[in-house]
């Protein structure tokens, strides 16, 4: 019976290890994707500022040169409308990119929160397996009870790693 329980501890440990590895991979992937989105955001900001600068320059030229020919003035005004539209377009696009980047950062943070629970669950389950093995060899009920307690706490932490039912403040970065 103790041997079967030890095998169950090992299965729970394997599932916990898988969960921890997946949480870490998801965290790294979300971080990379968020970084990509922020780089894209910066590119949009640079373009938005470029068009804003061009727009301001055209506005200044129109004010300085009140006596320009009508067709030239019309061309300046057309360019001014185009620069204004581009500035607004980039401003709107960057908002969507920012929203996506923040969503990815949240996903990263959730997975980062899961990781310590898996880590400590793995340690407790490994201790439980070792203690259960000692209990089998020494025919010690007390050591086996300790193994059960360690495995129980490890299982609770593993489930919490998957679901985040509760947060322990000292488990977070």
Reported as a single tens digit per residue, the pLDDT across 67-79 is 888 888 899 899 9
What domains can be seen in the chain, in order of their start residue? 2-171 (1.10.287)
pLDDT at 69: 87
- pLDDT value, residue 115: 93
**pLDDT for 1:** 84
Mean pLDDT per 10-residue section of the chain, whose length is 173 residues: 93 97 97 97 95 93 85 90 94 95 96 95 98 95 97 98 91 69
HEC secondary structure over the chain: CHHHHHHHHHHHHHHHHHHHHHHHHHHHHHHHHHHHHHHHHHHHHHHHHHHHHHHHHHHHHHHHCCCCCHHHHHHHHHHHHHHHHHHHHHHHHHHHHHHHHHHHHHHHHHHHHHHHHHHHHHHHHHHHHHHHHHHHHHCCHHHHHHHHHHHHHHHHHHHHHHHCCCCCHHHCC
């Amino acid at each position: 019976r103790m041997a079967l329980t030890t095998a169950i501890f090992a299965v729970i440990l394997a599932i916990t290890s898988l969960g921890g590895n997946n949480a870490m991979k998801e965290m790294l992937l979300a971080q990379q994707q968020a970084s990509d989105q922020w780089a894209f955001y910066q590119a949009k900001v640079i373009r938005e500022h470029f068009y804003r600068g061009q727009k301001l320059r055209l506005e200044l030229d129109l004010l300085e040169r009140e006596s320009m020919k009508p067709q030239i003035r019309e061309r300046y005004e057309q360019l001014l409308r185009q620069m204004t539209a581009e500035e607004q377009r980039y401003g709107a696009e960057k908002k969507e990119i920012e929203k996506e980047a923040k969503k990815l950062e949240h996903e990263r943070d959730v997975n980062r929160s899961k990781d310590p629970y898996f880590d400590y669950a793995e340690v407790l389950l490994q201790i439980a397996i070792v203690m259960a093995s000692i209990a089998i060899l020494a025919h010690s009920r007390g050591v086996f009870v300790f193994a059960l307690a360690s495995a129980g706490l490890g299982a609770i932490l593993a489930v919490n790693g998957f679901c985040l039912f509760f947060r322990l403040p000292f488990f977070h970065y």
